[in-house]
Amino acid sequence: MRLLGAAWRIALLLGLVAFLARPSLFAPVFAPLTRFDAPPIYDGTSLLSLTLNHLALTGAATLCASLLALGLAILVTRPAGAEFLPFSRALANAGQTFPPVAVLALTVPLLGFGAAPTFLALFLYGLLPVFENALAGLSGVSPGVSEAARGSGMTGPQRLALVELPLAAPVILSGIRLSAIVSLGTATVGSTVAAKTLGEVVIAGLLSGNTAFVLQGGLIVAALAILINDAFLWVEGRVRARLG
Amino acid sequence: MIRVETLSKRYGEAPPVVDDLSMEVAAGEICAVVGTSGSGKTTLLRMINRLVEPSAGRVLIAGEDTRNLRGHELRRRIGYVIQGHGLFPHWSVADNIGTVPRLLRWKRAAIDARVDELLALFGMEPATYRDRRPAELSGGQQQRVGVARALAARPDVLLMDEPFGALDPVIRGRAQDELAAVQARLGTTVVLVTHDMEEAVRLGHRIAVMDAGRLLQCATPAEMMARPATPFVEALVGGAERPFRLLSLDRVEAAVEPGEADGPPIDAGANLREALSACLWSGRDALPVERNGQRIGRVTLAALRRRAAPEAGTPAP
Ligand SMILES: Nc1ncnc2c1ncn2[C@@H]1O[C@H](COP(=O)(O)OP(=O)(O)O)[C@@H](O)[C@H]1O
Ligand SMILES: [Mg+2]
């Protein structure tokens, strides 16, 4: 069963790579979905460069959101920072409350069209899952263990680095995974404000009534989501195993 | 070795949790702190290594005010064991035991050698246990690793907060004997918090009784049983158990007298309570006493009876 799962993941990855490297090979597959001799493969921008751009934007937003959210979670779980908990919660929740589309609409006048407003929307949207998970992970370290760490003479930073973060790592990682997957899907919306993401393919398909475009845009995003999710799960599993 | 001077801890307006408490623990002694739940035992212990900062008073260790060091530096010099061991679940047994030496930046080889030495001291084969995770140990083994971790950097002082509380009675008894043996061998000064009087009598050279944040009495077990300072102390050490506790404090060799007796002998190192038990069980009035397989005399029921009464239990002050 696990072997089968791994095999189909590898097939998916190879299929994706092949499709991005040589989209024309797949033209016969998509041709039946087009009408009036429309092109079966999107050629406005190369699919490979859109995919890389999409990944870069998602990755950057997830990375920045994770760093800020983790930093906030660390801050509010220190005795000195406990008073910032309500503020941090409110910030992370606000990021999630505004739908990305609204963020895009509100920020385009300030930031112009393109990647910047999309990055901001993804960044805000990605804060909450990481923050909540990091908070749960860091405050979930058993009192006996924290007490022993303090009693052994670890300084605050040593307790954080040697005990709390390692023990919270799996939970934090699953927060980052959640954030990354949501971001990956949401980044498609960025194309409405001219960010170069895979949403461009889908939108082009919708505007020209070309189902093949819509499908290939959607499929690439779906394949990326599955593969990235799996990669995170694998890392989480490894980390969990190391925690014993 | 440890000198507590007019130590107090208050939280807000509530009555003090530890109230103007002074006591002294001599080097190489085990001081057992007993008292009901909420009497301030844990707070007292945590003020010694400054996990809790006192509201008033001070603590001296080997004559030095503990406030002269930074908290974490002080704690690296003091062993600390808590109930439920608090082992780091993501580290191997060796890494757990090596915690403080690593914080003190000992050399790798010195840490490895120390870990193996301690595992051997606690009867755990180093090759077998070094690389295990805490979750792969029994409760008794986890507890031993907890004590080994506290002793790793050779502290002069060891603080223990109900260290055996989570163990079942059989394992607990063994762990107590083991602690007594290790302490006698290393000469560590120990403050042991417990709510179990039996444990206090068994391990404590001295017993400190606390109630509502105050120290009621600090004395040897025999003194305390003979002359309890307050009715509360009397109730704690007393009851129907008192004669047996008194007997359990002394070894057979202290009551041995010349003469013959029949039946299986008792070892001179056994305690008098065990001798009484043997007399009653076998219906004898006297037992032969042996040391290293040599007859050295006998112990009589009459002598045991005398020693189970308070006047004879303690030498006059
Ligand atoms: N951080 C704290 N804030 C307020 N009260 C506390 C705190 N720590 C302990 N106490 C109170 O101090 C009392 C003594 O606690 P403790 O020292 O743990 O007693 P023991 O170990 O003898 O059971 C308890 O009533 C407890 O509620
Ligand atoms: Mg306590």
Residue pLDDT, tens place only, B200-253: 988 999 999 999 999 999 999 888 888 889 999 988 887 677 788 888 888 888
Q: Are residues B140 and B263 in the same domain?
A: no
Kindly provide the b/e burial profile for residues A182-203, where b requires at least 16 CB atoms within 10 angstroms of the residue's own CB.
bbbbbbbbbbbbebbbbbbbbb
Q: B231 and B259: one domain? A: no
Same domain, B173 and B281: no
For A53, A207, B229, the CA distances from A101, given in Å and listed in that order, are 19, 19, 77
Judge contact between B72 and B65, C-beta under 8 A. Answer: no
Given an 8 Å threshold on Cβ–Cβ distance, is A163 in contact with B80?
no
Q: Report the Cα–Cα distance between both ends of chain A, in Å, rounded.
A: 25
Q: Looking at CA atoms only, how far is residue B303 from chain A in angstroms?
A: 47
The A residues from 114 to 143 touching B (CB cutoff 8 Å) are: 142
Both tokens of residue A206? Answer: 């919708």
- Would B316 be classed as within a structural domain? no
**Same domain flag for B120 and B107:** yes
Q: Is residue B134 part of a domain?
A: yes
CB contact at 8 A, B181 and B154? no
Distance between B89 CA and the closest CA of chain A, angstroms: 7
Q: Is residue B314 part of a domain?
A: no
> Are residue B250 and residue B235 in the same domain, yes or no?
no
B22 domain-assigned: yes
Which atom of ligand 1 has the smallest separation from the CA of B37? 23
Chain B residues within 8 A of A163 when measuring between CB atoms: 88, 90
Domain harbouring B71, CATH code? 3.40.50.300
Least distant ligand from the CA of B161: 2
Q: Could you tell me the domains of chain A?
A: 45-243 (1.10.3720.10)
Decide if B103 and A158 are in contact by the 8 Å CB cutoff: yes
Pocket probe for ligand 1: among B17, B44, B192, the residue whose CB has the most ligand atoms within 8 Å is: B17
Cβ-based burial of A96 (10 A; exposed 0-12, middle 13-18, buried ≥19):
middle
Whether B124 and B169 share a structural domain: yes
Task: Note the pLDDT tens digit of each residue in B246-300.
Answer: 888 888 888 889 988 888 999 888 889 888 988 888 888 889 999 888 889 899 8
Residues B110 and B126 in one domain: yes
Question: How remote is the CA of residue A169 from the centroid of ligand 2, in Å?
Answer: 31
Q: Which residue, of B180, B209, B239, is where some domain finishes?
A: B239
Taking CA atoms, what residue in A is nearest to B49?
Answer: A151
Please choose, from the candidates B167, B234, B246, the residue with its C-alpha nearest in 3D space to the C-alpha of residue B202: B246
- B89 contacts in A (CB within 8 Å)? 145, 167, 243-244
pLDDT at residue B311, rounded to an integer: 62
Does residue A243 sit at the B interface (CB-CB below 8 Å)?
yes
Instruction: Write the residue with the smallest CA distance to atom 11 of ligand 1.
Output: B17
Give a yes or no: residue B313 inside a domain.
no
The answer to whether residues B204 and B299 belong to one domain is no
Q: Which two tokens stand for residue A180?
A: 């990354």
Name the least confident of A60-74, B119-133, B294-308. B294-308
Residue B315 domain-assigned? no
Report which of B21, B15, B57 is spatially closest to residue B216, judged by C-alpha positions.
Answer: B21
Boundary residue ending a domain (B178, B212, B239):
B239
Asked whether residue B149 falls in the same domain as residue B276, the answer is no
Q: B162: which 2 tokens?
A: 């109900």
In a shared domain, residues B137 and B193: yes
- Closest approach atom of ligand 1 to CA B9: 12
Q: Do B200 and B264 have their domain in common?
A: no
The whole-angstrom separation of Cα B167 and Cα B182 is 19
What's the CATH code of the domain at B280?
3.10.580.10
Of B82, B85, B103, the CB nearest to A153: B103
The parent domain of residue B48 ranges over: 2-239
Residue B59 counted as domain residue: yes
Looking at the structure, tell me whether residues B195 and B291 fall in a common domain.
no
Question: In tens digits, what is the pLDDT along chain A, a chain of 244 residues?
Answer: 678 888 999 999 999 999 998 888 888 888 888 888 788 888 888 999 999 999 999 999 999 999 999 999 999 998 888 888 888 888 878 777 778 888 888 888 888 888 889 999 999 989 999 999 999 999 999 999 999 999 999 999 999 999 999 999 999 999 999 999 999 999 999 888 888 899 999 999 999 888 999 999 999 999 999 999 999 999 999 998 887 6
Do the domain assignments include residue B183? Answer: yes
- How many domains is chain B partitioned into structurally? 2
The Cα A72–Cα A41 span in angstroms is 44
Residue where a domain terminates, one of B205, B239, B273:
B239
Measuring from each residue's beta carbon to the nearest atom of ligand 1, which residues come in under 6 Å?
Answer: B 11, 17, 35, 37-43
